[in-house]
């Protein structure tokens, strides 16, 4: 599906301590993304703190975003929830509100069986009736999706793509070949984990699901285009300025880093939702340096 290819920017979702969306901040962050003309927006991903926001505020965030974007690019939205019924309700709302696609992670408390995961995805995909991207993120869901499980999920109606975590030892070519072989023709295979995604694109992945693009869409688009074109020299050059940021992402998790960066850049005064805390003060000098590098 074309809407799911290229660079997908994941904005933070600015919200106050009670979880209420700060509309002006969300619009400000989205306007930067829209102006940069990336390929799509991934609202309420892990970076968008979806797992920690009240359900009614998640609906409100989507409505604000769709209004702010005004159809200028596709908006796909995270509808993951521990309760299947909650995820179904969010998926129905997303379609009614006018979203272009869904992201669904198998959030877990009880370790789930493969059958439970497949049943959950089938019900949510059916409720939404929109192209759905499997959110394969073992760091947050603790679900390790093997190729057999991905193939079962990809065979469900509406399931159109997968957001993969970075493979071990940078084995993008082998992994993408295995996935293309096991998954339906045209199935979208994208990656997250910003620091590895230029290599994913050079190995012909379809999509980069990017945290950095939520805050620096222009700079990230430059890198994404170079990597998608297979231009190794330009990719290396474009990527240089990202290194201090990648380093902080790896050490603290991208959510804490990017949310604190947005605050330092005066785009919001909000913090991540507790229990998640902002980056420790001791890292603010390193973060300021990383921001300067991105804006050089």
Residues at the interface with a copy of itself (CB under 8 A): 17-19, 46, 51-54, 82-85, 106-107, 109-113, 115-117, 119-120, 123, 139-142, 253, 255, 273-277, 280
User: Which one, 210 or 273, has the nearer CB to a copy of itself?
Assistant: 273
Name 42's bridge partners: 76
Instruction: Report which secondary-structure segment, H or E, holds 164.
Output: strand 159-164
Three-state DSSP state, 97: helix
Catalytic residue among 50, 109, 135, 191: 135
Question: Taking the complex as a whole, how short is the minimal distance between the CB of residue 147 and a copy of itself, in angstroms?
Answer: 21
Identity of the residue, 48 or 74, whose beta carbon is nearer to a copy of itself in the bound complex: 48
In whole angstroms, how close is the CB of 214 to a copy of itself at the nearest point? 16
Q: Which residue, 71 or 274, is less far from a copy of itself as judged by CB?
A: 274
Pair of tokens at residue 60: 């409100």
**DSSP letter, residue 7:** E
Q: How far is the CB of 54 from a copy of itself (least distance, A)?
A: 8
Spatial contact of 188 and 160, defined as CB atoms under 8 Å apart = yes
3-state class (DSSP) for residue 103: strand
Cβ closest to a copy of itself, residue 83 vs residue 180: 83
Handedness of CA 231, 236, 238, 243 (dihedral sign): positive
We find the least distance from the C-beta atom of residue 87 to a copy of itself, in angstroms, to be: 9
Residue of 50, 52, 109, 163 marked active site: 163
Instruction: Clarify whether 52 is annotated catalytic.
Output: no
What's the alpha-carbon Rg for the chain, to the nearest Å?
A: 18
Contact, 51 vs 86, CB < 8 A? no
**Positions marked catalytic:** 135, 163
């Amino acid at each position: 599906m074309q809407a799911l290819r290229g660079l997908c920017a994941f904005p933070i979702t600015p919200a106050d301590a009670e979880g209420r969306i700060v509309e002006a901040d969300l619009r400000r962050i989205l306007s930067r993304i829209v102006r940069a003309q990336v390929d799509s927006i991934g609202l309420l991903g892990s970076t968008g703190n979806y797992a920690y926001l009240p359900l009614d505020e998640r609906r409100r965030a989507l409505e604000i975003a769709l209004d702010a974007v005004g159809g200028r690019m596709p908006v796909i939205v995270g509808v993951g929830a521990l309760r299947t019924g909650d995820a179904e309700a969010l998926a129905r709302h997303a379609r009614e509100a006018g979203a272009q696609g869904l992201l669904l992670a198998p959030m877990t408390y009880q370790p789930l069986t493969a059958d439970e995961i497949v049943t959950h995805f089938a019900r949510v995909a059916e409720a939404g009736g929109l192209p759905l991207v499997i959110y394969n993120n073992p760091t947050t869901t603790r679900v390790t999706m093997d190729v057999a499980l991905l193939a079962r999920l990809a065979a469900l109606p509406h399931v159109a793509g997968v957001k993969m975590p970075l493979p071990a030892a940078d084995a993008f070519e082998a992994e993408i070949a295995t996935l293309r072989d096991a998954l339906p023709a045209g199935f979208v295979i994208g990656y997250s984990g910003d620091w590895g995604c230029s290599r994913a694109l050079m190995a012909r992945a379809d999509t980069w699901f990017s945290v950095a693009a939520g805050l620096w869409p222009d700079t990230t688009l430059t890198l994404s285009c170079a990597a998608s074109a297979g231009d190794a020299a330009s990719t290396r050059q474009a990527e240089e300025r990202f290194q201090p940021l990648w380093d902080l992402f790896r050490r603290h998790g991208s959510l804490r880093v990017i949310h604190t960066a947005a605050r330092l850049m005066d785009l919001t005064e909000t913090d991540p939702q507790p229990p998640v805390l902002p980056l420790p003060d001791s890292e603010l000098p390193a973060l300021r340096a990383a921001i300067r590098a991105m804006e050089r």
